[in-house]
């Protein structure tokens, strides 16, 4: 199925990312209580399938994985084989990071970044081996302004060839220079045709700096996907009662997580907002965000939580892999 904006209903604007489920260690807060005590491959695959089942039952139709998410592609491929009726699912993956933790939470290095052509060719073959023709979207993982994906013409030609085969080509961004990376990507063309059809970026109440650039991408016809809308769990586990998010949650009887996701869903340029749920209860709560109404005053109050982008990314880089 070709990748298209999934905005037919509020729920289909919510996607599920498997960053926290495809490997035993990640930087999301609360993993000790969210995941099985024994994070074997079998246990994590079972949990992944459980959450995928719940998401599909809710009407979620976009699922997001990556080569560096441990065995996330393998887990999703196995789920798709078990669910032949799920032919309406849109699948996106990412290349550019290699998983190096060897299924350990205490590894010194969990992933290694390389946006070179050799990595693209190697990882595309690995992704296709697992997902086959179910690969709808392939994104360059965590592009920054200096990424070869923005300047290497030979690599761009290979990405364009993949797009010509029917796989949508996109990119994700990370870091305090997300706006610059997004705007640079919008100008990349191969033979007069824009190369990147989708942009996936971090955007949340604490780090909204990519918002104007994402709005530009949307206006230019790109599909916008939002990741880390809960700031790797910070907006759930650090939503202190006296914060704007905590106060509004108490006043409305809505969870901080649902409110934080709803604030992103209220952005007209956000086509798909990813849940990073690790449990079915979290998934239920995240999906409930599609029914939360926020007025302009509520959005303004929540917007006051934003801080400087460099400080946010410095804090994120210090989060432990657990």
pLDDT in tens, 260-293: 999 999 999 999 999 999 999 999 999 999 999 9
Does 10 score more than 70 pLDDT?
no
Residue whose token pair is 């971090």: 202
Residue-wise DSSP of 217-242: HHHTT-EEEEE-TTTTTHHHHT--TT
Query: Could you tell me the CA-to-CA distances from 94 to 26, 120, 208, 295 in Å, in that order?
Result: 17, 10, 23, 35
Say if CB 42 and CB 252 are below 8 A apart.
no
Give which of 252, 257, 188, 251 is closest to 228, Cα–Cα: 257
Residue whose token pair is 């959005």: 299
Does 176 score more than 80 pLDDT?
yes
Return the SS3 of 301. Answer: helix
Say if CB 5 and CB 199 are below 8 A apart.
no
On average, the pLDDT of the chain sits at 96
Where are any strands of DSSP class E within 5-84?
14-17, 62-64
Query: At how many degrees (to 10) do helices 244-252 and 296-303 cross?
Result: 150
Place 320 in a pLDDT band, splitting at 50, 70 and 90: very high
pLDDT score of 239:
81
Distance of alpha carbon 119 from alpha carbon 123, whole angstroms: 6
Q: How many CA atoms lie within 13 A of 272 on its CB side?
A: 28
pLDDT in tens, 55-103: 999 999 999 999 999 999 999 999 999 999 999 999 999 999 999 999 9
Does 33 score more than 60 pLDDT?
yes
Give which of 263, 267, 274, 179 is closest to 226, Cα–Cα: 274
Give which of 222, 231, 216 is closest to 309, Cα–Cα: 231
Residue 274 CB-density burial (10 A; 0-12 exposed, 13-18 middle, 19+ buried) = buried
């Amino acid at each position: 199925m070709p990748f298209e904006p999934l905005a037919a209903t509020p729920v289909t604007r919510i996607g599920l990312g498997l960053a926290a489920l495809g490997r035993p260690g990640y930087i999301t807060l609360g993993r000790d209580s969210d995941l099985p005590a024994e994070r074997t491959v079998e246990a994590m695959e079972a949990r992944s399938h459980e959450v995928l089942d719940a998401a599909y039952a809710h009407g979620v139709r976009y699922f997001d994985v990556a080569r560096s998410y441990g065995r996330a592609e393998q887990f999703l491929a196995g789920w798709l084989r078990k669910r032949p009726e799920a032919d309406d699912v849109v699948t996106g993956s990412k290349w550019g990071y290699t998983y190096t933790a060897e299924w350990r939470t205490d590894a010194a290095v969990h992933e290694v970044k390389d946006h070179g052509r050799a990595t693209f060719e190697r990882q595309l073959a690995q992704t296709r081996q697992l997902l086959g023709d179910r690969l709808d979207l392939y994104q360059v993982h965590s592009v920054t302004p200096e990424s070869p994906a923005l300047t290497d013409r030979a690599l761009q030609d290979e990405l364009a060839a993949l797009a010509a085969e029917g796989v949508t080509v996109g990119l994700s961004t990370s870091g305090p220079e997300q706006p610059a990376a997004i705007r640079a990507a919008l100008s990349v063309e191969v033979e007069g045709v824009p190369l990147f059809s989708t942009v996936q970026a971090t955007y949340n109440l604490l780090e909204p700096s990519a918002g104007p650039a994402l709005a530009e991408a949307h206006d230019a016809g790109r599909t916008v996907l939002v990741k880390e809308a809960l700031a790797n769990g910070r907006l759930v586990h650090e939503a202190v009662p006296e914060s704007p998010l905590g106060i509004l949650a108490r006043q409305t009887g809505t969870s901080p997580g649902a409110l934080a996701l709803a604030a992103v869903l209220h952005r007209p340029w956000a086509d798909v907002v990813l849940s990073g749920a690790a449990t079915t209860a979290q998934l239920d709560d995240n999906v409930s965000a599609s029914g939360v109404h926020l007025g302009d005053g509520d959005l303004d109050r929540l917007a006051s939580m934003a801080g400087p982008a460099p400080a946010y990314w410095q804090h994120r880089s210090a989060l432990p892999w657990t």
